[in-house]
Structure 1
Amino acid sequence: MTVTYDPVLSRVRIDADNLGSAATAVVERSPDQINWTTVRGGAEAQVNSGVLQTLDDYEFLADVPNYYRAVVAEPPEFSVGVGAGVSGTMDVPFTIPLPAGVTEGDLLVVYVASGWVTGFSATIPGYTRLPGGQLDDMFVKVASASEEDPQVSTAAEDDWPVVAQMVYLRGASLPYSSADHDNTVGITGANISYGPLTITENNQAIIYAGFKHDNVSTPVWTSVDTIPGATEIGEVKVAGTSSNVGIVWDYEFRAVAADVTEGQFVVNGATATNESGNGRVVAFPTGWDAVQVASLTPSLDGKLWLKVVARPYLNRQVTVAAVGDVQRKARTGVHQVVGRTMPIAISDVRGSREYELQLLTETPQESEDLDYLFASGEPVYLHVPADESKVLGGYFTVGDVSDAPVGRLSDKRIFTLPMVEVAPPGADVVGTTVTWQTVLDTYATWADLMAAHATWGSLLEMVAEPSEVIVQ
């Protein structure tokens, strides 16, 4: 996502891509990333081929950080398929079955561990070994169109037990984000510990994996609790003649970037010797961003703007000449009662704030453009800088407008505006900067139009003339 400030019409322009197959997105603004407000036109912002149609925010918070996010309505195309767990011995290569339904482009992940106490190293032809691990290894590969069950082998010739399992992550990709996405920690009591992991990107497929080995011939555990917020991939365990080994791994899809904190697999019914073990966390990016965030501090440079959100091509920077007193009119009726000294008052909440605002224009062109703005008859948004304390900003309806020259022969004019505070226009009021009249006034033929604008998006970037507000 990118956000930029356009000082010509005083708007924040919002763009985003990599939004997958979503048809719409919700675009929101926040001053603190806690409280979010939907940007006008952002309730169902159009997405075409993963690209957000540029959205303009005219109601941004002036002179302070504005955070924007685009959230697609549908989740990323992410799914998981789990293959059968298998076991063998280190002296004999064995096959790891593919999960059912593997398709080209799936990310294949293999987790394998051994009951050998002095070290372990496995190989799977065509697969890439991830760094880290002690007596365990993790391998990855992007599935081809004709994938076959891989074979795992080790350099040792001992008959220590080995367990393995494969999973596919559909929608995930390589490489995993950074070197610190693989952390190794050992055994903590009977449990398997894993370290913290920094997550800086949205929409990560996170795998928590751990193994445990003891020098006894009984099962390594009875069960392992699933990591909170995750889904178990599987548990595979085997007991050999003099040792045992087990692997456990879970997965989580994390839509919004948040660090993984240090934690543990809670092991139930573990054997007592706790010879060795290892936990790791690995994160893989998914194919597109379901949530994108960007920030900007748009400045009004101490100037006031008068905006018409229904017709933003009328937006103008204005100069204040004078500000009248602010009042709230009473909604009270006083009724005299026969035979009583005191009347009865019937009252209601007071009306909105009202005041008189005078604006100064320096040139005939400025005067004409400002007159066109009021000719629209639309509610106006008076956008004031954050430190402005003398002029009341917000949405107003403007009463009967008058203007007069400062001096008899002066080009400067004073516009007097009766301002009545009103509610903002409904969320469905979304203006554009171009009208069909703009097109008719600019291009003589369709051929001229097509030559100038290859796409509708290009056409929508045009800005109409203020005079187009006049209905002939």
Structure 2
Amino acid sequence: MPIPAGSSPPAPPTSGPIVYDPVLSRVRLTVDGLADGFPVGVQRSTDQISWTTVRGGGALIPAGGVVRLDDYEFTPDVTNWYRVVGPLVADDFNRSATNEWDFPERGPEWIVTGTASAYNVNGTRGQHTHTSRGVVLESRQDVSLADVDVTLRGISVSAAPTGPDSNTIVTLAARQVVNDRVEGRLFFNADGTVSANVRQLVGGVETFSTFVPVPSASTASTLALRLRAVGTSLQGWAWLDGGVAPVAPTVSMTTSWTSAGLLRVRSVLASGTTNPLSWTVSYDGFAVTSPDDVWFTGSITPALGGVWLKSLARPFLNRQVTARDVSPVTRPPRAGVFDVVGRSFPVAVTDVRGSRRWTLEVNTYTPAEARDLDLLSASGDILLVQAPASGRLAAVPTGYVLLGDTRETTPPTSDLLMRVFELACTEVAAPTADVVGATVTCQTVLNTYATCQAVVDAHPTVVDLLELVGDPTEVIVS
């Protein structure tokens, strides 16, 4: 059917933390003022009720307080809300404080107990300095949670414990109400090993899991400890900080203590140790990753302005096209009809119908437009078809498609430059989340600059370099 006439929506803003780029039809997020070093997620919604993780935005690490992401899958011509979610409490201890731990990057002030001089932050690490044996030092976050996932990183001790009753215990406690709590614990032992367990302490009675050695760890290692308490499930992970965190929990048990309570970081030098005092336990990261918190919220109404064909794997191929016509949309059946001997009525074996199929006719008016569209179809990528929400172009079917046979014809115009492309579209599932495209390839750089120095001169940072947009001819299709 021919595309009817219509109107265009107003243009979206072109400056700020969320802008629309009409060149590649993408919403660009550049959000600053974030805490460095902690994974954040970027989500999108059109109703602020149901949120979807933006492709490539599942676990971004802000650098210099900034996170950047491009979204090609927005909903056109309506308000799209974006939010950045991160840890409820986040602390990298990149500050200095004496006789306290002060405020984390996100979250309430740390509360310390006992002798104030035992607590300090030295610019990179929070520290417990023990001047007595058998005395617990404790830093508390007054965030009351029942279900929680919390990680303590950069855990190290100033020396291996020595003596007949020699260990140092570092504890990550949650659900603490008075003295009742659940814990993940690291034991730095006199034999040079480190072991972990989880436990509950309720009414003065402790129940704990088995002690499990932390793989490849020694008392000289820097470690990470994660505690997850959800309902009656209590799990702990311990690993070498800087390494890959294990998927399966190191230790686990069932707990009967499910009340909401506070979070605490505790350490104690056992009474039987013979280490010289003072003696220090250090930490360089603390994060409550569940529940999370909203670090940023903003919105934009991207005006599409036309029909777009987008490659999520190679977004530099994205093109706005001139839609000429759309065939009827069909759904092929997936069923069989079988005659039965001695019966008039056959038996039907049915299944859900196949996805939508249609043919989109597109005009091009210059050799460059024809070349670019041909290369886009030759890429073989799953494409996203987007069209305005209202007006004449709303008649174009939209969704993720795989192109079947394509046909290019030359209508009898005076200059014979016009082409008509017939694109057979089959609706398919969206590419999986691991398909995250980039606008620049190695070939882009090789084609643009003669030397490495020329690259550095033009783009002093990686962020600058990633702003390059490749050419469709860089796709190898022959």
Distance 1:170 1:454, change over 3 A: farther
- Residue 368 of structure 1: aligned partner: 371
8 Å Cα contact 2:379/2:477 also seen in 1: no
- Residue 261 of structure 1: aligned partner: none
Q: Which runs of 5+ in 1 are unaligned?
A: 85-96, 106-167, 172-228, 233-254, 256-288
- Residue 226 of structure 2: aligned partner: none
8 Å Cα contact 1:359/1:414 also seen in 2: yes
Which of residues 61, 68, 77 in structure 1 aligns to 2:75? 61
Deviation readout 1:230-264 (Å, 9 max, x if unpaired): 979xxxxxxxxxxxxxxxxxxxxxx9xxxxxxxxx
What residue identity is the alignment partner of 1:312?
Answer: P
Instruction: Give the Cα separation in 1 of the matches to 2:36 and 2:371.
Output: 46
TM-score (norm 1): 0.56
How far did 1:170 drift? 9.4
Instruction: Give the Cα separation in 1 of the matches to 2:474 and 2:464.
Output: 20
Query: Would you say 1:436 and 2:454 are equivalent positions?
Result: no
Deviation readout 1:15-66 (Å, 9 max, x if unpaired): 12232233431110111222110001011224224321x2100011111111
Instruction: Give the Cα separation in 1 of the matches to 2:398 and 2:116.
Output: 64
Instruction: Give the Cα separation in 1 of the matches to 2:423 and 2:352.
Output: 25
Query: Would you say 1:402 and 2:407 are equivalent positions?
Result: yes
What residue identity is the alignment partner of 1:372?
Answer: L
What does residue range 1-400 of structure 1 map to in structure 2 within 5 Å?
A: 2-52=17-67, 54-73=68-87, 75-77=89-91, 78=104, 79-81=109-111, 101=119, 291-301=295-305, 303-387=306-390, 388-400=393-405
Deviation readout 1:114-150 (Å, 9 max, x if unpaired): xxxxxxxxxxxxxxxxxxxxxxxxxxxxxxxxxxxxx
- Residue 449 of structure 1: aligned partner: 455
Distance 1:230 1:428, change over 3 A: same
Instruction: Give the Cα separation in 2 of the matches to 1:2 and 1:230.
Output: 37
- Residue 112 of structure 1: aligned partner: none
8 Å Cα contact 2:38/2:90 also seen in 1: no
Indicate the structure (1 or 2) with the bigger Cα radius of gyration.
1
SS in 1 for 2:90: coil
What residue identity is the alignment partner of 2:423?
Answer: L
Distance 1:430 1:406, change over 3 A: same
TM-score (norm 2): 0.56
Which of residues 417, 430, 455 in structure 2 aligns to 1:411? 417
Instruction: Give the Cα separation in 2 of the matches to 1:82 and 1:45.
Output: 32
Distance 1:25 1:390, change over 3 A: same
What residue identity is the alignment partner of 1:400?
Answer: D
Instruction: Give the Cα separation in 2 of the matches to 1:339 and 1:83.
Output: 89
Instruction: Give the Cα separation in 2 of the matches to 1:384 and 1:319.
Output: 11
- Percent of residue pairs identical: 46
What residue identity is the alignment partner of 1:350?
Answer: R
Distance 1:304 1:461, change over 3 A: same
Instruction: Give the Cα separation in 1 of the matches to 2:477 and 2:417.
Output: 26
Aligned pair count reads: 291
8 Å Cα contact 2:309/2:383 also seen in 1: yes
Instruction: Give the Cα separation in 1 of the matches to 2:348 and 2:73.
Output: 40
What residue identity is the alignment partner of 1:9?
Answer: L
Instruction: Give the Cα separation in 2 of the matches to 1:7 and 1:372.
Output: 20
Query: Would you say 1:426 and 2:441 are equivalent positions?
Result: no
Which of residues 455, 470, 475 in structure 2 aligns to 1:469? 475
Q: Which runs of 5+ in 2 are unaligned?
A: 1-15, 92-103, 124-138, 143-259, 264-287
Distance 1:231 1:333, change over 3 A: closer
**Root mean square deviation, CA, Å:** 3.3
